[in-house]
């Protein structure tokens, strides 16, 4: 099985290189890894024994960030190295002040050996998923503790199938798992992994903290005025098409659309759907708050602060591979609406169960959900309380990490 895995990694690298000729994200993926080891050698002193945090992308970074920042606050001299697999994480957080930030080289035996030798980590912390055989094996070989935080497992994953022996062996290199739910605990124990703790999801700590001290956005306040505001976050084209009828049916509401992709072509597509919309980049405080009903956010990094101005939220991705972050909105007391693909997200199931979220599959269902939620103060309170009650994973994880 290992030879198939190795061939798969090599083939993936070749495909991305080919895609980089015409795809900007793939180009960033490839170019960001050029001279990566020379870059690491210049910035990281092996004698510092940093803690290595790895994140697949930006969402996982925000999930693991409370643990990273808590460790750093307790020991400011502790060096930290952060790696990303995806450009969408690296390009936004490459200048993160608390760590040296790099792309993770592809998971080959030689890359893993050289990487671990160069950074010489005291320990390694991965968030939620990303299970790389050679990196895990190299850490194990060098007796470097490896922790997985905010993990979540499902019975349909390869680890728990009769043919999943190779992937089960990858999990056995992990020193300790901190998981989100009881199902994950049971699944891991069913394959002989007992170093597991039910800690919950560190995202609750992050979004709760953000909601307590949100960054004020003066231009957004100007746009909103005294209107009720519907915020559509991390949207994709399938989501945006559904919103057209909603904006037409409720002219007394303001709408803020923050798409997942902010390339010029996509922004123009959104403008085609909403001809009277205004881009945030050209919105001015001199413009009357009543002059535009729809604002398109054409930058990255504002969404987590936008929700403070909303009454309701729509979370994109539910018509694709899966919904994006519902908790950022819920932390501010916003009931959330999203598409049908949410089964991999425990928080989405929980929010639906308590009446603070709805899943929809059409524009008519979106309008019905909007009607149910637009004056539902109970749903708002339940969303906020759900986040507050679920926080605390970071403290539990830190206690265990310190003992180790």
**Could you tell me the pLDDT band of residue 59, with boundaries at 50, 70 and 90?**
confident
- Residue 300: what pLDDT? 84
Q: What 3-state DSSP class applies to 388?
A: helix
Q: What is the percent of the chain with per-residue pLDDT over 70, rounded to a whole number? A: 98
Say whether 215-389 and 2-208+392-403 share the same fold. yes
> Cα dihedral angle (239, 242, 247, 253), rounded to 10 degrees?
-60
Structure tokens at 321: 């591979």
In Å, how far are 30, 107, 112, 134 from 13, measured between CA atoms? 8, 10, 15, 16
Q: Does the 2-208+392-403 domain belong in CATH 3.40.50.11720?
A: yes
Give tens-digit pLDDT for 94-144.
Answer: 999 999 999 999 999 999 999 999 999 999 999 988 999 999 999 999 999
Tell which residue, 117, 135, 124, has the closest CA to residue 176: 124
**Residue 101 or residue 403, greater confidence:** 101
Q: What is the pTM of this model?
A: 0.82
Structure tokens at 19: 């895609």
The domain ranges of the chain are: 2-208+392-403, 215-389
Inform me whether the pLDDT recorded for 208 exceeds 60.
yes
Residues near 391 by Cβ (< 8 Å), separated by ≥ 6?
A: 204, 205, 208
Classify domain 215-389 at the CATH topology level: Rossmann fold (3.40.50)
The chain-wide mean pLDDT, for the chain, equals 94
- Residue 286: what pLDDT? 55
Residue 163: exposed, middle, or buried by beta-carbon count in 10 A (0-12, 13-18, 19+)?
exposed
Cα–Cα distance for residue pair 402/70, rounded to 1 Å: 11
- Residue 241: what pLDDT? 96
Give tens-digit pLDDT for 275-328.
Answer: 999 999 988 755 555 568 999 999 988 999 999 999 999 999 999 989 999 999
Alpha helices (runs of H) in 225-263, residue ranges in sequence order: 237-249
Q: What is the mean pLDDT of residues 144-149?
A: 96
């Amino acid at each position: 099985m290992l030879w198939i895995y190795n061939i798969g990694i090599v083939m993936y690298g070749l495909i991305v290189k080919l895609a980089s000729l015409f795809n900007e994200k793939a180009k960033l993926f490839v170019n960001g890894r050029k001279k990566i080891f020379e870059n690491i050698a210049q910035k990281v002193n092996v004698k510092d024994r940093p803690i290595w945090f790895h994140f697949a992308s930006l969402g996982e970074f925000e999930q693991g960030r409370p643990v990273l920042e808590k460790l750093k606050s307790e020991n400011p001299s502790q060096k930290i190295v952060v790696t990303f697999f995806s450009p969408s994480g690296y390009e936004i957080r490459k200048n993160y002040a608390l760590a040296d930030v790099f792309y993770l080289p592809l998971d080959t035996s030689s890359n893993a050996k050289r990487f671990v030798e160069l950074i010489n980590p005291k320990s390694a912390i991965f968030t939620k998923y990303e299970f790389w055989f050679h990196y895990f094996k190299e850490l194990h070989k060098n007796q470097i503790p490896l922790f997985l935080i905010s993990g979540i497992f499902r019975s349909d994953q390869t680890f728990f199938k009769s043919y999943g022996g190779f992937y089960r062996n990858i999990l056995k290199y992990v020193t300790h798992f901190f998981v989100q739910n009881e199902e994950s605990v049971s699944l891991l124990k069913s394959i002989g992994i007992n170093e597991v703790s039910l800690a919950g999801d560190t995202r609750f700590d992050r979004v709760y903290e953000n909601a307590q001290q949100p960054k004020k956005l003066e231009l957004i306040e100007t746009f909103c005025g005294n209107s009720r505001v519907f915020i559509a976050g991390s949207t994709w084209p399938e989501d945006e098409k559904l919103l057209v009828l909603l904006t037409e049916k409720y002219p007394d509401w303001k709408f803020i659309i923050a798409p997942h992709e902010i390339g010029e072509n996509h922004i123009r597509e959104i403008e085609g759907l909403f001809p009277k919309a205004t881009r945030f980049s050209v919105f001015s405080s001199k413009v009357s708050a009543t002059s535009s009903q729809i604002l398109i956010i054409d930058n990255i990094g504002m969404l987590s602060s936008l929700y403070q101005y909303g009454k309701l939220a729509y979370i994109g991705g539910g018509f694709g591979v899966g919904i994006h972050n519902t908790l950022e909105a819920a932390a501010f007391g916003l009931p959330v609406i999203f598409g049908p693909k949410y089964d991999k997200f425990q928080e989405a199931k929980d929010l639906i169960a308590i009446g603070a979220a709805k899943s929809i599959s059409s524009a008519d269902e979106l309008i019905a959900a909007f009607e149910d939620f637009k004056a539902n103060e109970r749903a708002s309170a339940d969303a906020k309380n759900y986040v507050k009650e679920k926080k605390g994973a970071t403290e539990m994880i830190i206690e265990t990490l310190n003992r180790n």
